[in-house]
Chains A and B, each alone.
Chain A
Amino acid sequence: MPPKRPKSRGSSGTSKNKGKDNAKIPAPDEGAPESGHPEYIFPLVLTSATQELFGCRADEDVTGENPYKLLKKEDMIQDMKTRAAVSDFSPVKQTVLEYPEDELLLVFDRDFTYGQGFYLVLTVEAKENMLKSPVQGDDEELMEDEEVEEEEEEDMIVPRTPEPHLWVSLGSEQEVEDESVTESRPRLRCKISPVMRLCGAPVCFSDRSAVDGKEPECPSYEDKSFSIRRMERHTAVQASGDTRHSSTQTLWKFPKNMWTQYKPREFSPEEKEDQLRSEHLKNFLTSVLMRFEISLQQNLIMDVFSDDWAGLSEEDLSAGRAEAQLKEYQSFMDLHFSREKSISQLHWHPTISGVIAVAMMERLSIEERIDNSTKLLLNPSYILFWSFTDPINPQLQLECPEDVLCFQFCPSDPNIIVGGCFNGQVVLWDISAHVERLQDTRSGSEHISNKPDQNNAIPVVRYCAVSGIENGHKAQITDIQWLPETFEVSRLGIPVENPSRLSVQMVTCAPDCCLLFWDLRPPRVVSQSLTDVKQKSEDKPLENPHGVPNTFKHLNLTWKPFIRVSLPKIVSSGEYSPLKFSFRDNTVDYVTADKLPQEAEREEGCGFAQLRVPSAKQQKPLENICTKLYVGTEDGEVVYTDWKMEKDNDSGRLFSAKPTHQFSSHHSLVNTVSRSPFFKDIILTVASYSFAIWKEGVMSGPILMSTCSKVMSTVGHWSLSRPAVFFIGKEDGNVEIWDLLQNTREPSQTQNISTASITCIKTSSSSGKHHLLAVSDHIGTLHILQIPWTLRKSSSNERQNVRKYFEKEEERLEYFEKRQEKQKKEMEAQQLRKKTEPVVPLKQDEELEAEALKGYEQFLALEKVILKNMGLLTETEDQSDL
């Protein structure tokens, strides 16, 4: 308890003072560390006036050694009255008034222990204490000083344990008493008992579960009578970070179609002009020009990037190699069917590699045929299909009504084969049922072993349609060709659009002086027959015997050509008898896409039956088709004609115009007219003793004419891989290989293939690894030869060179013509001159005399004049002269 401590201290201090000696006497200053001041002490500020009044001037009346001054109470009250609030003693006014004694102690606080210069002791006890102690203290202070000095000296001396003193009560037991708990009053006793009558009464106990929660509770409640305020409280605090809400959203990126359009920046013409005139441009150009010239010249001088190594290989080949012979690869000869027969024509199968079709023909002349006609009936002729996998047995046999001289695969459907017979009929076959067999043969012997039955019996395919005898040719058909699928020909001969993109038309020619155009589709005119055809095709699928497909049922025996092109002679009367012909393979670009047929329409075989000849109005004529043909005749003429029919205005009948040109270059029958596969306008015609190359458009003659050969040529064929090479088959079984770039007078090679004459030569176009040449001869053997590399590989420039060669030849022809014309003109001019000389009239003698006389007179006159002028003439002389 703070107020008591300094007292105790003070008292202890005084007790210690009494105790003398060593203890340092704590001056009242020790009370200074305490914040407050004791109750009995009141610090005062005394002004100098007050100090003088009461005689307690600082450092004069009261000093540090003698700080006490007793002041009379009455004086203080007097002062307070007089000076009221201003008085220094006003704060202690009440205390002063209540002070029991007359004198108050004022202490000069030199060290400001209580905060002010003076302090007033308010209680009597404290005063007495203070007065007593300082009295003693004064004395003892002196002693203290001395003792301090002595103590300092005595520190060195071993301190002695203090002797115990008697305990003096300084008031501390008060605290102890306060803290102890004592009974302040006697304890109360009370006795509680229930009412007497309840004791011993029956009691009823019951159970109550604790779960119910209705326990007898004595909850605490807040007593309203007093409230206790809790001054201290234990609380836990936790610091945590601020919470933050945040969200994010991803953008869903999905592909979006975007487009942008831009336009390049351009200068207007004026701006361009400005730029061009600028100085900078000129400087730029002059600086840059040199570099450009160097590089441009470099490029012109030499091609730095050309691959010499690659170029080297080609040159090496064309230098001529030893291995240039045609090597025999295989030969086919059928014992049953090829005996005493010759092969009239052969064709490679266009799609299936390794399959060749061969047409067999009797080696009999017309008379012999008539003699042996019965034998011929029993011995039908066939077209045989050979495959490389089986050299002994043919794969397929196509039965023909008569000897077939020529046949062709349909370009849009290789299962359709058309052939021209010896009696002028046109025959159609459909081999779609057997095409698998042909394809299987490529796989080898496995399939053959699986089907032993078929191996022995070669399937015989009967023709599915044949033209009526009266409608066809009157002579044997020597050439037959399909029209390409790009266009078809209308009744007038005008090429029109072909919507179905199938080859449905073909052209035949025979020595009966006409060309016939045939159509595969049923004619449109008779509607009844159409319904019949429909019914027949729907109701009875298997109508024909021998399993002939129904593809061309509509044509059988009723087939008629729709155009008949005759070839009247140009100059004389009569007609040309064509043997072979060739027309331009025209390709047409169809601009509008909707005209293209859907793929589903291109069905094999059946598609032909469903095609109908469109009406003439629907057909759209095509313009760029060349309708001209080259025809080689029996007499060796090459005729250039147009197949378009013209209408005779008088009778309304269609007739064909006269051919435009004819050339009697050959003197023997033309056996081949064929176009070069590389150049569409180059045609090779081979006659018995010569051949010629023509260019379409050059009407003056062939651009190349060969010399007469000793041995008869029987057939000619262009090479499919080299533009300058073609093959000629001879009567003695030789095959001549002509290379136009090497030598045009003689063949580059001759090779003997067989002993009989060659009847047909064909190169395979789809053979893959091997390039094969098929050669057939008169005794019925089919030879397959391998074309050596030199004949197969064309050099890069070959085509260009050949073209240049042909152009040169053309130019030569033109020059020749011009020269001829010139010569002709000169001749004519000479003749004219000769004729015009005697026309000059003879002048008569009399007239001549008269003229002479006149001249003489003139001369005399002139002489006179001159002499006169010269002054040499006298009048007499003049007269005398006359």
Chain B
Amino acid sequence: MSGLKFAEVEDTLKRIQGYNGVIGTIVVNGEGIPIRTTLDNSTTVQYVGLLHQLILKARSTVRDIDPQNDLTFLRIRSKKHEIIVAPDKEFLMIVIQNPAE
């Protein structure tokens, strides 16, 4: 049973990674420790460390304005890439994409 679930998880991650232009995918647990990544270790750790704090800040911002609201999605568009982050109670998922030229 767990094997099946594992396969599903893998499939989902592969699906996202397979999109055109996606550079990397990172799955992080609630404390900010990466669980699964397609990038190299140093880059992963750097991304996770920085984005974790940003998510906390963004979430607190949203909730300060309206306590019943919550952060669902964060997209950061930079000159070179787009960083997409989806937070959750326990996990965090980060995808870095190179958008259409």
Contacts and interface: CB of A to CB of B under 8 A. Distances in A.
A296 B9 contact: no
A267 B22 CA distance: 24
Given A277-B2, A291-B72, A301-B100, A267 B35 contact: yes
A305 B22 CA distance: 18
Given A265-B33, A275-B29, A300-B19, A284 B100 contact: no
A292 B6 contact: no
A279 B6 CA distance: 9
Contact of B82 (A272, A287, A288, A299): A299
B90 A284 contact: yes
A289 interface: yes
B19 A296 contact: yes
A280 B45 CA distance: 22
Summarize A's interface: helix, strand, loop or mixed.
helix
B99 A281 contact: no
B28 to A, nearest CB: 10
A284 B99 contact: no
A292 B91 contact: no
Given A264-B45, A300-B19, A281 B9 contact: yes
A815 B27 CA distance: 48
Contacts of B97: 296, 299
Nearest to B93: A288
Contacts of B8: 282
Interface string A260-303: 00001111000010011101111011111101110111011111
Q: Name which of A272, A296, A300 has the most chain B CB atoms within 10 A of its CB.
A: A296
B58 interface: no
Chain B interface size band reads: 35 or more
A474 to B, nearest CB: 57
Contacts of A265: 31-33
Interface in A228-278: 264-267, 272, 275-277
B20 A300 contact: yes
B36 A296 contact: no
Nearest to B98: A299
Nearest to B3: A277
A302 B16 CA distance: 18
A303 B99 contact: yes
A280 B91 contact: yes
A666 B33 CA distance: 68
B13 interface: yes
B48 to A, nearest CB: 8
Contacts of B48: 264
Contacts of B77: 305
Contacts of B12: 285-286, 289
Contacts of B6: 276-277
A284 to B, nearest CB: 5
Contact of B93 (A292, A302, A303): A292
B20 to A, nearest CB: 6
Nearest to B10: A276
A293 B16 CA distance: 7
B21 to A, nearest CB: 6
A291 B5 contact: no
Contact of A277 (B5, B73, B75): B5
Contact of A276 (B33, B36, B99, B101): B36
B29 A288 contact: no
B95 interface: yes
Interface string B5-49: 110110011011001111000010101111110000100010011
A62 B88 CA distance: 112
Nearest to B77: A305
A242 B82 CA distance: 72
A275 B30 CA distance: 11
B51 interface: no
Given A275-B35, A288-B88, A300 B9 contact: no
Given A276-B6, A295-B75, A300-B21, A289 B33 contact: no
B49 to A, nearest CB: 7
Interface in B49-100: 49, 72-73, 75, 77, 82, 84, 86, 88, 90-91, 93, 95, 97, 99-100
Q: Name which of A282, A288, A289, A303 has the most chain B CB atoms within 10 A of its CB.
A: A288
Given A296-B16, A299-B82, 16 more contacts: A266-B45, A267-B29, A267-B34, A276-B9, A277-B2, A284-B91, A285-B12, A285-B13, A285-B27, A289-B15, A292-B16, A292-B93, A296-B21, A296-B22, A303-B100, A303-B101
> Which 5 residue pairs are nearest across A and B when measured between Cβ atoms?
A299-B99, A264-B45, A288-B86, A277-B2, A296-B19
23 contacts: A265-B31, A266-B41, A272-B35, A275-B35, A276-B6, A284-B93, A286-B12, A288-B86, A288-B93, A289-B15, A291-B73, A291-B86, A292-B93, A295-B82, A295-B84, A296-B19, A297-B19, A299-B21, A299-B97, A299-B100, A300-B20, A300-B21, A303-B99
Interface of B: 2, 5-6, 8-9, 12-13, 15-16, 19-22, 27, 29, 31-36, 41, 45, 48-49, 72-73, 75, 77, 82, 84, 86, 88, 90-91, 93, 95, 97, 99-101
